[in-house]
Amino acid sequence: MSQTVLELVSGGKPADSRAALRELYTKYGGTVHGRCRYILGDATKAEDAMQDVFAKALGHWQDFRNDASPLTWLTRIATHHCLNVLRAERAPWHQRFARETIARGEGHGGPQLFEDREAARQLLAKLDLETQQAAIHYFVDEMTLDEVAAAIGRSVPTVRKRLAAVAALAGSALPEERGREDSGERSER
């Protein structure tokens, strides 16, 4: 039984490694996919993992020493990658993200989003152009009062008055949290 030996040329062109990797992909892609599917237990995740394995192999092509067969090298990369995928799925942030996604529910996006946009457009239509700019910079772009003032070429007190008019028209007060994030000039009321 002959062992596949790849000829590595030092200083070779990247195309050389890609051609050799293409040959490995053709020859061992199914085996690597099977390994990924066995570890991950999901065909879609296995396909993604297989692509990642061959991308890693391309990136670490110079590390292949021909001590073992290319299949052994690719299987080792696949095993480590798939175990890292499983480990990452158990990370606490994945569970937190899933909970937040479920909690968001139907109210996030969909028809409600269009209603909110329409309400915002109607509110902005009642304002002059400069006040619209100030409101968008402050509430949407989350600029500070100083930044809004510089952007529209007005003083901070003028911007503050325009934003107060927007809040009064909308029927709500400015959020308290934003006041603490802005510069010291915001607290000088």
Residue ending a domain, choose from 66, 90, 114: 90
Would you give per-residue pLDDT tens digits along the chain (189 residues)? 454 444 544 444 445 667 877 888 889 889 999 999 999 999 999 999 999 998 888 887 777 777 778 888 888 899 999 999 998 888 888 777 777 777 665 555 555 656 677 778 888 888 888 998 998 888 888 889 999 999 999 999 999 999 998 888 887 533 443 443 444 444 343
Rounded-to-integer distance, Cα 88 and Cα 97, Å: 13
Type of residue found at 34: G
Range of the domain at 77: 14-90
> How many domains is the chain built from?
2
If asked whether residues 19 and 85 sit together in one domain, one would say yes
If asked whether residues 182 and 136 sit together in one domain, one would say yes
Rounded-to-integer distance, Cα 26 and Cα 70, Å: 12
Domain contains 118? no
In this predicted structure, what is the pLDDT of residue 103?
66
Q: 67: domain CATH number?
A: 1.10.1740.10
In this predicted structure, what is the pLDDT of residue 64?
72
Tokens in use for 162?
């325009």
If asked whether residues 36 and 85 sit together in one domain, one would say yes
Q: What share of the chain is helix, strand, coil (3-state, %, to 5)?
A: 75, 0, 25
Q: Which residues contact 138 (CB under 8 A, 6 or more apart)?
A: 145, 148, 159, 163, 178
Q: Closest Cα to residue 55, out of 73, 72, 40, 77? A: 77
Scan for tokens 């509110």, then name that residue: 123
Residue ending a domain, choose from 63, 90, 117: 90
Q: Which residues contact 183 (CB under 8 A, 6 or more apart)?
A: 144, 145, 146
Domain contains 119? no
In this predicted structure, what is the pLDDT of residue 45?
92
Residue ending a domain, choose from 65, 90, 115: 90
Q: 138: domain CATH number?
A: 1.10.10
Cβ pair 52, 10 in contact under 8 A: no
Domain contains 43? yes
In this predicted structure, what is the pLDDT of residue 33?
92
If asked whether residues 133 and 84 sit together in one domain, one would say no
Please state at what angle helix 70-89 crosses helix 14-40, rounded to 10 degrees: 50
Rounded-to-integer distance, Cα 82 and Cα 49, Å: 7
